[in-house]
Amino acid sequence: MTVGQRIKTRRKEMNFTIPKLCELTGLSQGFISQVENDKASLSLDSLQKICLALETPAKILLGDDGFAPELIKKDARPKIRIGNQPDLEILSTPFGRNLQVMQALLPAGYQAGNCAHTHEGEEWILVLEGQVKVTQGDFEAILSEGDSIHLDGTKPHLCQNASDDPATIIVAVTPPAMLPLSKIT
């Protein structure tokens, strides 16, 4: 299916006429008709307007079929251990994706990396159990069970267990920062 055909199909799924799509995008009826019939190409600006009006990501209209679901069974999760650091359990597909999700059990007093660290992309942390202190620049917060935080990974940050009991966290990073070298048995 072509880009024009995908746009036309989505427009019809939403019960939009060409005039309605023109009203929402500011594009002309002739142009929309030409695009849907593969007689005109879209600029990025026009594609963005159509995507917003059709409430559809560009990758769908451009034909990216994405990837099939990939199941990871609890007993088959790859684990990472770096030196004497706590195990990181990989919850997401370990290779070939833009997002990595991990679970970690942080012992009492544990401090990630023993200093503020950085990495490419973004990081999101959810506290499942215990209390975790997150520091980035002048910002400092104690997160408790159910609290989450979204960080710019390129800015120095620190994550540490803030209690005398173990803490369990879920960490999501994009792009992936850790690759499992082997399974820990």
Q: What's the pLDDT tens digit per position in 141-184?
A: 999 999 999 999 899 999 999 999 999 999 999 888 765 544 43
| Distances, alpha carbon 41 to alpha carbons 7, 11, 35, 76, 152, in Å | 12, 17, 6, 46, 36
Average pLDDT of 104-129?
85
Contacts of 66 (CB under 8 A, 6+ apart): 59
CA distance 130 to 143: 8
The CATH 1.10.260.40 portion of the chain extends over: 3-61
pLDDT tens per residue, range 29-49? 999 999 999 999 999 999 999
pLDDT tens per residue, range 4-24? 999 999 999 999 999 999 999
Per CATH, the homologous superfamily of domain 74-174 is: Jelly Rolls (2.60.120.10)
CATH code of 3-61, in short, is 1.10.260.40
Lowest mean pLDDT among 67-76, 124-133, 161-170: 67-76
Task: Look up the pTM and report it.
Answer: 0.64
The CATH 2.60.120.10 portion of the chain extends over: 74-174
CA distance 57 to 76: 33
Strand partners of residue 111: 160
Residue pair 120/150 in contact (Cβ under 8 Å)? The answer is: no
